[in-house]
Chains A and B, each alone.
Chain A
Amino acid sequence: MAKKVLIPSLENPLAPPEDVEFTIPGEVPGEKGPYEEAMKEGHELMERPIKSVPVGQIEKQHFKQRMTVWERLRVLTKEEPNIYFQNWGPNLDGASLVTGILNVKGRDVAFYGHDFTVRAGSIDATNGRKLAKLFNMAGEKGIPVIGMNDSAGAFVPAGVGGLDGYAEAFTSLRKISGVVPSIMCMFGFNAGGGSYLPRQGSFLIQPKDTFFGLTGPGVVKSVLGEDISPEDLGGPRVHGATGVADITVEDETSALRTAVRLLGYLPDNNHSMAPALKTTDPLERKTWEINTLLKKAFNSPTGFNTPFDVSIIIQQVCDHGDYFELQRTRAREAVTAFGRLDGNVVGFVANNSAVSSGQIDCDSALKIARFVRFCNIYNIPLIFMEDTTGFLPGREQESRGIVQAGRSMLDSIVDVRTPRILLILRNAYGGAYASYNNYPTGADLVLALPTTRLAVMGPAGKEFVYKDELRKVRGAVPGMVQRGIERLVAAGLDHIEAKRESENQAAMWLQQEEVKLNTRYEKELMNPKEGLALGSISSLVMPTDLRRELGRNMNFFLRHYKPSAWQSVQREFH
């Protein structure tokens, strides 16, 4: 007997039939006329951006362990988004881009997100303008922007239109740069314009299993013959190390939650302060842990030359120890972080001796320059913590342009108009000191720990300070050697042996003498005394009082600071 042919189905025949007839929501259905017809059509249009997407497209996105733009929005906020231009584009489907206003923790935030399920979130002839309109509005109203990028690039069938679309978006984003802050999340696989656009924003967050860059591995292979994985070409490890990505995270959810967290430290725009939060952490709290940290480091066998992790100090100073570090996978010899001090958002810029001795190189100089400029523009006060032996010298750095990078840092600090304090932790030498928020560069206040070693030069400075002494001891060496040879020969050694022995002795003596001068230099000059006497340092602070001292001074400066847009002559470089 032939089996009956059944067409497999995913319907439940036992379920009561669904009522598919449209009624105006909330209205008691009555007789239907052309009015109802129009309502129905309108309703369908309103739902189109979501409903028109075939489930297969959504499944494709989900197969890649990625959320749809609508799902991402729900992670940012539980509040219903206010969508603008939802039927944009010839297909009336929003043109693979969702824009609107969100309520994130009570604040208005403009957002956009590519809808990858619609033509792979590509930019076509018109949706670049949709994006531009959103940016313009954000700039006009003075509200921050969150971008959720997940776009395959320009929509090829749209031809040059897609390129113009990008250009339009680039332009308007640049025009609101410095007016309102923006946070860009990188999802999926973005190349070309899809990378430049988000990087125009203030901060860029990249999760794992994503790529962005100039162009993908395929093109790289065909053009350069290079075989490289997307991960190694433009994954978070790559961008996190260069600062192209400010924050790298585990997954999409973390990216979105991090964006919300970061937003908490940012003002709405360039003419208001970042949101202050009343704190229950007393400003008087003693910072004992800083004391312990320094005691352990400086009393260890390597003494005052022991590196330590400066983020512990930032943590102790901040309200309840909470702070938010930026670019933590790049050049960690400098730590840049937002924190709150007595409720006010403060930017911290600290040399971190735990990494590469805290030496400023091209990367750390640019990292600091970028962060300082951001704080400066958005009225965020700054606390600098200095503990560096200087800029990193050498061929590699020079060939990478350390002079220009260091200059960039220096200029960004000179430009600062927001309240700014310098706290010297230990080392502050030469050029690094001179360029690092001291009184002449415009600091409001310079404080120092008793462990401060403020000097023109580090230990090498003894060559200059004790020039005469050194010349004397070095000059004494030949005579010593000669006398030694004579003595040793007299004692019965042959000449060659006597010469070697005598040279050894003299070398050891010289070494001891130099060590003595070293110690003398450290004792006489590597301390805060000269700085205090000259007024380069206002006062010393005890490690246990750091929170109180920094806090009450910052409060004083903030009481006399009015947020405003930064208006000044445009300098040649930034």
Chain B
Amino acid sequence: MAKNTLQNQNFYVNNPLIHRDRRLGESSSEWVRSFSCEDLKPLIVCRGPIRKEAIDVYSEMGITHYGILLSEKDSIVYPNALSPELRTLTDNRRVHRVPDYSGASKEERVERIGQIIGIALENGYDSIFAGYGFMAEDDEFVAAIEEAGLKFIGPCSATQRGAGKKDEAKRTALKVGVSVTPGIDNVTARTLVTKYSNRESLLALVKSEGLKCDPAILNNADLSLEELADHILAASYKKGIDLFSIQELGKQVERECAAMFRDYPGARIRLKAIGGGGGKGQRILGASLLAKDEPTAADIARAAAEAPSLVLEVLNEVKAGGVGDNKNVLVELNIEQTRHNEIQLLGNGDWCIALGGRDCSLQMHEQKLLELSVTQEGLAREVEKARAAGNEVVAKALEIDLEILKRMEEESERFGQAAGLDSASTFECIVDRQRHYFMEVNTRIQVEHRVTELVYSLKFTNPEDKEDSFIVESLVEAMAMLALHKERLPRPERVPRFGAGVEARLNATDCSLSPSAGGVIRYWSDPIEGEIRDDQGICTANPDTGQFMRYTVSGAYDSNIALLLTKADDRLASFKHLAEVLRRTTIYGTNLATNLEFHYGLVNWFIGNNVMAKPTTRFVVPYLTLMGCLKQEAAKVDPVVAFLSLKKRYVVANAENPEVKKAISDILDRNGTLLTRPLQRILKDPHLLSGWLSLNRKNFCMEGRKLKWLRNPLMIIAETYEYLNMTMRPDAPASDVIWSHDNEHLQKAISFYSSLREHFPIDIDDFEALNTLLEKEKPQGDFSAAEWDAIRASHIGFEAGNELLGLLYLVGVKTNFFDFKVEKNLDVTIPEYLHDSVLQTQMKKMLVPPPATKEDEIVTPGGGMYYAQEAPGMPPFIKEGEHFEKGQPLFILEVMKMFNKIPAPFSGTVDKILIEGGDGVIVSKGQSIFKVTPDERFVEVDPKAIEKERRNTTEAYLQAIT
């Protein structure tokens, strides 16, 4: 009965891991009650999963007067994409709207800040929560909120300035002894000094521009020129003028880069705009120098020459290219073997507490994919475990991490206190073997904050009474509490919650992790126990019908669909549970691509190798390249052909005895779908294959050119069905799970072998021992001759054809899959060839073949009038020689006064514009507009030849398994 209730529990709306009654006002303790937040009136100004989380947490805290500010950009361009978290919030008065949150220009941003504050004041809100959006780190936004007498749920503007701006943060870090990377944090000041190279000219500049500077500083002759320049620059930002051009800044950066390339040969340099984050506003240069130990002056000059244009790009990306914007760009050494670790911080301005770390190394193009908790307690346990198992190398490797974590946590707390941190922030570091460097502080809650929530909770205790305390399990809750009760909150104690937490970001990306927007989610299975699904409310059923509502993944902002989290006692268990979560997540959709399979493969790769491995941020791209190699090889094997050929071999081998021949033929028929179905699924998806190979690597070995089974194949088949989430589930559609006759057959076989185990003291999993036993013609144990024959006959029957599964392992061997591995010291070895950018590009195409076309012209889809641009006076959509992406508008076709933008049917380059005459020229259906060269030309292949090659390869594979 109890089990039944658990099964019926809806973990989406009622999940003990994230949902609880948070109303402190209900407490019996007066002290606890005094921290109640029911009177807080927050306006939520963010999108994504954090918006839903804030709604949930605030409701649970008993906050009733909260509102949501929607950005009109949010969901308007797609049907079925209406903010799903609003389905249950039907009070219109709580939903407010602005065109967007941050504006397109500086002026618009300032205007928008005013509007947002206006909406808050007009509607009786007293505080603003900005999630993890751009606005959350905008010190001007926060300052304006503070000035308007509202509370900002997040770090105050002073902290934002001191810790959020990268240059300031680095200076603070140096002051309090935090380890930082070599680099230059004041290139703007240096630019100014280059332009005005002495005190006198700098002071003259102050005068001529009428800048308001502190006389004490101007008069301080001891101050370095650069410090003086910094001060003058600050005044220029206030005044809203520029003291140098972006070109001058670019030149300065170029000089600094050249110097750094000389000092650190073989390294690249990273440029970061101070307002950047999340991969935005950053560029890396010097790739050409990577392999050169002694670059020539010309090499260096060439590499550094990239700098000015990159400076312009990063400034534009963070919208800091306008007049009067702070254009400082950090010039840092790019550390090549990096692991990305970060420390969660929480403070009230007085105290600051570190809440363990998160390892976010598994990322691609700076977008995080898998995030793991790192705690001192957890690492200490793993060290102990390794030592107990006599594995000193692993113990040492983990001890290094433990030491680094301790140092990072200490430093982060020092930093937080120095910066007056009064809410949640993240202290980001990179770890390079036994050293770590501070990178930046994100003065906001981060996407992956729940990883930390799973491993630590916060215990606030009454300083006057040790027994009087309360627990906070949510950082969003803690932030709201800090906004209201800042000074009064005592320093909490961090209490270990679960041993390990892990988060996978479910994104709308294809098999090669490229964004793939526009798909529709039609069905998403319910979350399982122990799963947290932060999906912005997508799974909120239609409140009237209880049915899943279709959702279009618009990808208007980023490709994230949901965050999937889980926890366990240690990392291995948490990975195994995450694997179960991913396995049991079924998403049906139309044109929908997600990275669910990628995650499933990856998590199982770690389970099969070592979950304590130390992958770097360079892991994912070569891993994907390997997936491409797998797919290429797997495509050559046809399981059905293999099965039929195998059957033929069996029949031929038993040809002399018609009775045996008939029996074996029938038996193989019974095995047909059981064997080929999982093979077909796995061979089709390299991510599934990767996970399967990693889990099963221990079950096989090669003996010469023959495959040897170390485990009973039958058990592996059963596990493979489980791996594919295809075990018998009566409530699932039959086509989603093992066919009933296959299941009957499999269960019978399993029970046969487990009964056998009762009679013989052998490990049934030990296939060799099992075979040796059953090869004996003389009855064994207490079986009669007839019984023994029957047992042996059944063994032959149950194992007939199972060797087919070995094809999968052979694909792994053929692609050198197992060379990509975790070493004893937990480092990850990536075979060199996988770093080859040519192969990487090839394999990306292998994973997701780009649409090829035979066309070399773009023609009109219908008759009408042609226009090259959207409106008179605007630039044409495309010019000769320009490249276009699929879906990009190429021209306008006016049909009965409707101006239809015509999207490119494929990607390519315009060679020549064929259409003659200007705007408004009449065109007929199918008329050629452009002569083009498509990116991917369709290559005619003979399907019969491919089929033949597949057949031959499959036969060759069979040689090794039979």
Contacts and interface: CB of A to CB of B under 8 A. Distances in A.
Nearest to B864: A357
A292 to B, nearest CB: 4
A161 interface: no
B777 A14 contact: no
B794 A10 contact: yes
A302 B871 contact: yes
Contact of B660 (A5, A15, A458): A5
B90 A280 contact: yes
Contacts, number: 206
A570 interface: no
Contacts of B752: 12-15
Interface centre among B92, B896, B899 (most CB of A within 10 A): B896
B956 interface: no
Interface string A49-81: 000000110110011011110010011001000
A307 B900 contact: yes
B648 to A, nearest CB: 16
B544 A319 contact: yes
B843 to A, nearest CB: 27
Contact of B87 (A74, A284, A315, A320): A320
Interface in A293-322: 293, 296, 300-302, 305-307, 309, 311-312, 314-316, 319-322
Contacts of B745: 10
B183 interface: no
Contacts of A9: 663, 667, 790, 793-794, 796-797
Interface stretch (B21-29, B417-425, B727-735): B727-735
A8 interface: yes
Interface stretch (A24-32, A95-103, A248-256): A248-256
Interface in B59-113: 72, 75-80, 82, 87, 90, 92, 95, 97
Contacts of B663: 7-9
A289 interface: yes
Contact of A358 (B669, B756, B797, B898): B898
Bin chain B's interface residue count.
Answer: 35 or more
A63 B523 CA distance: 26
A320 B90 CA distance: 9
Interface in B658-711: 659-660, 663-664, 667, 669-670, 672-673, 676
Given A13-B787, A13-B790, A59 B82 contact: no
B892 A254 contact: no
Given A264-B545, A279-B544, A309 B756 contact: no
A261 B550 CA distance: 12
B469 interface: no
Interface in B539-564: 542-545, 547, 549-550
Interface string A430-466: 0000000000000000000000000000110000000
A280 B673 contact: no
A516 interface: no
Contacts of A219: none
A182 interface: no
B739 A356 contact: no
Contact of A311 (B79, B657, B676, B898): B79
Interface residues of A, number: 79
A285 B92 CA distance: 6
Interface string B440-453: 00000000000000
Interface in B885-920: 892, 894-900
A357 B547 CA distance: 34
Nearest to B666: A10
A288 interface: yes
B748 A10 contact: yes
Contacts of A190: none
A390 interface: yes
A289 B871 CA distance: 25
B659 A13 contact: no
Interface in B758-810: 759, 777, 787, 789-794, 796-798, 800
Interface string B283-323: 00000000000000000000000000000000000000000
B841 interface: no
Interface in B718-748: 731, 733-736, 739, 741, 745, 748
16 contacts: A7-B663, A8-B797, A9-B797, A14-B752, A14-B755, A59-B669, A68-B734, A257-B523, A264-B545, A307-B898, A312-B79, A315-B79, A321-B549, A356-B862, A357-B896, A389-B896
Given A67-B734, A300-B870, A322-B544, 16 more contacts: A6-B789, A10-B667, A14-B751, A68-B734, A253-B735, A253-B736, A264-B547, A284-B92, A288-B95, A306-B898, A309-B79, A322-B547, A322-B550, A390-B896, A427-B897, A459-B897
